[in-house]
Amino acid sequence: MPAEITTLLTFFGGTGDLAKRKLYPSTYNLFKKGFLQEHFAVIGTARQELTTEEFHEMVRESIADFVEDQANAEEFISHFYYIQQDITDANGYAAMLDLNNELDAKYSLKGNRIFYMSVAPRFFGTVAKYLKSEGLITENGEYNRLMIEKPFGTSFGTAEALQNELSEAFEDAQIFRIDHYLGKEMVQNIAAVRFGNPLFDAAWNKDYIENIQVTLSEVLGVEERAGYYDTAGALRDMIQNHTMQIVGWLAMEKPASFKDVDIRAAKNAAFNSLKIYNREEVAENFVRGQYGESADGTQKKYLDEMDVPADSQNNTFVAGKLQFEMDRWEGVPFYIRSGKRLAAKSTRVDVVFKKGLNIFGGDVELANPVLTILIDPKGGIEFKINAKDVTSEFLTRVVNLNWTVSDEDKKLTPEPYERMIHDAMDGNGSNFADWNGVAIAWKFVDAIQEAWDATREQFPNYVSGSMGPEASNDLLAKDGNEWVFKG
Ligand code: NAD
């Protein structure tokens, strides 16, 4: 049994889709594993009127697929409390304060509180303000923490305004900004592979690495999300957050220890050196795309999707080159791309190492060794290296050493949300985005968006089912490189 965590966990948006699909099952898994035992309570709060019994039934249904022992599940559910509240009304918080204090005493929770904001982003600042002004943040607790859903702003300006609101109530070390990609097993594996093997650790720099590629490709189109997506695009929906956070693990300096403060400091050393582009540099280093029909005509173009304005200039594909102005990465491009309606669904990192000098002579053609970390949908690690061909002359060929996450491993792997709730309860911020990283990612992305807003592009410019516009391939070809993953 692991050490028990003592906490009062409050879910704002407690009747929402995310709470039901992810947050309650994840909390239940933490109970099954013994992280939560007796000294915990969970409050769900939302606008709907629900009795305790109705709320318990909602939680029961949401965890049903994970229950092996109904008595154990009922024990878990008995720790759940519901409070109906309009979170924009300060007066509603008095009842919540009473319930917090009552549960604190009943379960001996030591004033430890986690407030999880699973509500629309426009409420984040308001809730933080009232948590402070209405006395919900304890003075005597071991901790008070805020977990906050995405998106964190829609530009640097809006993110900064939100950050200022939050910091009236919470210090940055108390704020756990969710980026569920950071909770993924294989994203966390980047650190294990890089820092766990002196071979890779020593070679993780401009002397041995030619370029690094991060791909987050989707097969699906915009589906029913155009209302939101048309205002965000791939740039703000996928690049600013998930892609940049993955890049953080790849580009960071080696941390002094694996503690969150050291990890954040090492990541920030890289983020602070990211070159922010001017308009000409955006045109040189970034490519935008919008999907057209599929070759067989069965999939429609973005502009014909429901709720998409007929003249939309929104990007459904982004490819770009990042440059870190630090000694480690001098001259090493980081290529990133993300898009909808691409040939394959894949989240992956390809680290392209430099070619060796050919001492073999003759017709030997050495390839770039490539280390690939497969994140989704199939986890795994591949390492393509040069080895001898079987022919009688001395020739080489590429062999692929690979490992795939087994079904057994998958069963044991916590869901990102389970891991993130656990880490926040544990006070470990390693796998959460900190303000400095978020701010720089927004400044970087804003510069691109501004440059794009100033010019019109001829859309659509890629066929659904391809790997994006030809300009994405040209971007790498200019540097003498090519995408490792071709769909
Ligand atoms: P949802 O619309 O299903 O639920 C919203 C919840 O907020 C409901 O419980 C509702 O009662 C409550 N609420 C709304 N206005 C309120 C008010 N004035 N007072 C009190 N409660 C109020 O939303 P969701 O899909 O659960 O998403 C919640 C958050 O999580 C959002 O920030 C979203 O961006 C983020 N998110 C959701 C998902 C997902 O898969 N659903 C994934 C990633 C991030």
Residue at 196: amino acid letter: G
Q: Chain-wide mean pLDDT for the chain?
A: 97
Mean pLDDT to the nearest integer, 395-415: 95
Sign of CA dihedral 29, 35, 39, 40: negative
Query: Phi/psi at 397 (nearest 5 deg)?
Result: -145, 165
Helices 435-453 and 244-251, axial angle in degrees (round to 10): 120
Local structure of residue 238 (DSSP, 8 states)? I
**339, 316 contact by CB (below 8 A):** yes
**Per residue in 190-210, pLDDT tens?**
999 999 999 999 999 999 999
Query: Ligand 1 atom closest to Cα of 121?
Result: 32
Cα(76) to ligand 1 centroid in Å equals 23
pLDDT digits (tens, 9 = 90+) for 141-187: 889 999 999 999 999 999 999 999 999 999 999 999 999 999 999 99
Residue 329: other Cβ atoms inside 10 A: 22
pLDDT at 302: 98
User: Other C-beta atoms within 10 Å of 159: how many?
Assistant: 21
Token digits for 310?
């007929």
Q: Could you give the residue numbers annotated as active site?
A: 242
pTM for the full predicted model: 0.96
pLDDT-derived band at 139 (thresholds 50, 70, 90) equals confident
**pLDDT digit string (tens) for 295-346?**
999 999 999 999 999 999 999 999 999 999 999 999 999 999 999 999 999 9
Q: How many residues does the chain have?
A: 487
Instruction: Determine phi and psi for 443, rounding to 5 degrees.
Output: -60, -40
Please give all residues whose beta carbon lies within 6 A of any atom in ligand 1, as ranges. 13-19, 46-48, 85-88, 118-121, 149-150
- Phi, psi angle pair for 483, to nearest 5°: -65, 135
Closest by CA to 336, choosing from 426, 455, 225, 251, is 251
| CB-CB contact of 28 with 134 (8 Å) | no
Which of 18, 50, 96 best tests ligand 1's pocket when mutated (most atoms within 8 Å of CB)? 18
Between the CA of 17 and the centroid of ligand 1 the distance, in Å, is: 7
Residue 38 CA, ligand 1 centroid: distance in Å: 28
Contact at 8 Å (CB) between 476 and 320? no
For tokens 């109906």, what's the residue?
Answer: 84
pLDDT for the residue 117? 98
Amino acid, single-letter form, for residue 460: P
Ligand 1, atom 39: closest residue by C-alpha: 18
Sign of CA dihedral 326, 328, 332, 334: negative
Give the Å distance between the CA of 146 and the centre of ligand 1. 16
Task: Quote the pLDDT of residue 140.
Answer: 84
Report CA-CA distances (Å) from 234 to 118, 247, 320: 23, 16, 12
pLDDT tens figures, 35-45? 999 999 999 99
Residues 6+ apart with CB under 8 A from 86: 47, 92
CB 451 within 8 A of CB 282: yes
CA-wise closest residue to 145 among 101, 113, 108: 113
Look at phi and psi of residue 135 and say left if phi exceeds 0, alpha if psi is from -120 to 50, else beta. left
Model confidence over 332-368: pLDDT tens digits?
A: 999 999 999 999 999 999 999 999 999 998 889 999 9
Distance CA 448, CA 451 (A): 5
